Structure 1
Amino acid sequence: MKDLKKFNIPFVGLKQGDHVFEYDIDNTFFEAFNFDEFHSSNIHINLHFVKKSTLLELSFQAKGSVNVDCDVSLESFDQEIEGTFSLIIKFGPEYNDDNDEILIIPHEEYQINVAQFIYELIVLSIPSKKVHPKVLDGTMNSEALERLKELQIDEDSPSEKEEKIDPRWDKLKGLIRE
């Protein structure tokens, strides 16, 4: 995790008030987490850091794109991502991260590493189903989509089930119409 030292924020030396930290994320960041689902990434993180006397307020904003594979066509494309995350850091006797929005760190801590929060923000900003924009607008040409179109059930033509209706049911349908 030595690659993630630039994500350490030594808050003890900071004056009370607002501070801004900016990070540019690429695939080397994700390699530190052994995450390899992105072919490439270009994400800008803006961290608004507010130091108060008893707590720290962190507000993360992520904006950029990651190159991923489409879940339908398996073609790679750039998925635009945008996300926000807010965190309050309080001081207590021991480390406690049971709450997603409040982190308690020991009183003797002098810095915080925000890499894990940035990682989670980015990964959770990716949609669970990644679909290429050309698939959505119908302009994608790929072998997988052509095969899916061949195997698609034609809903306009009557199915075999409808054609083999028992004639006794026809008599009952006549009762409903009358």
Structure 2
Amino acid sequence: MELLKEFTIQFIGLKLGKHQFEYEIGNQFFEYFEYNEFNNANVKVAVELTKKSTLLELHFKFKGVVNVNCDLTNEPYDQSISNEFNLVVKFGHEYNDDETDILIIPHGEHEINIQQYIYEIIVLSVPRKRVHPGVEDGSLNSEILEKLDELSPKQQENIENKEDTDPRWDKLKKLLTDK
């Protein structure tokens, strides 16, 4: 995978201390990863890099909106997301990213690319079950929701109750409810 240059931080020329980097993430970023779950994206990412003599500390903080389709109705809606993530970059003999929040890079490296970390924290911040806010408060009018209401078990029970039943069973049911 080719690395996007704007997400490469050259830390070799930076002084010890804190450094700020800001990124605006849009659809082009996710197209690069061939991720098509978002209809639209507008996320601001702030990265604070703290350079120390033996390691680097990266603090990712992001906030924004991604437009996704509802899992129930397939209607698009804007999902707000925000999250934070810390990454410690250590120097070692060989590259190792087995740990979630620790990255080991070879001693001779002079830059780090953070595009994969940004991609993963944004994608993982979107709720697993995406439900349109209009579904939750009942304000969304959708053909799919109407069909779901029509086919819901409650409707089926009402239809079954209207059918003629054996009067003997009705008397027995009445005994249960009279208690």
Interval of TM-score (by shorter of Structure 1 and Structure 2): 0.7 to 0.9
Checking the alignment, whether the CA contact within 8 Å between 1:3 and 1:32 is kept in structure 2 is no
Is structure 2 residue 118 aligned with structure 1 residue 96? no
Which digits, 9 at most, give the CA deviation of each residue in 1:104-143, with x for residues without a partner?
0000110000000000010000000011111110011000
1:136-158 superposed Cα distances (whole Å, 9 cap, x missing partner):
10011000000000001118859
Q: Is the 8 A contact 2:22 2:47 kept in 1?
A: yes
Contact 2:50 2:57 in 1 (8 A): yes
Identity of aligned residues (%): 51
Is this contact kept in 1: 2:3–2:113, CA < 8 A? no
Task: Give the corresponding residue for 1:75.
Answer: 75
For the residue of structure 2 that corresponds to 1:50, the secondary structure is strand
Aligned equivalent of 2:65: 65
Question: Counterpart in 2 of 1:33?
Answer: 33
> Residue 121 of structure 1 aligns to which amino acid in structure 2?
I
Which contiguous aligned blocks of 4+ residues in structure 1 show a shift greater than 6 angstroms? none
Aligned mates of 1:40, 1:158 — CA distance in 2: 43
Q: 2:137 — aligned with what?
A: 137
- What pairs up with 1:1-178 in 2 under 5 angstroms? 4-154=4-154
Q: Structure 1 residue 2: deviation in Å? A: 5.5
The alignment partner of 1:13 has SS state of: coil
Long gaps (5+) in structure 1 = none
Deviation at 1:102, TM superposition (A): 0.6
* Equivalent residues, number: 169
Deviation per residue, 1:15-62 (Å, 9 max, x gap): 000011000000001111111111110000010110000000001011
Alpha-carbon RMSD across the aligned residues, in angstroms, is: 2.2
Give, in whole Å, the separation in 2 of the partners of 1:159 and 1:102. Answer: 60
- TM-score relative to the length of structure 2: 0.87
> How far apart are the structure 1 equivalents of 2:4 and 2:28?
10
Change (3 A) 1:3 1:110: closer
TM-score (norm 1): 0.87
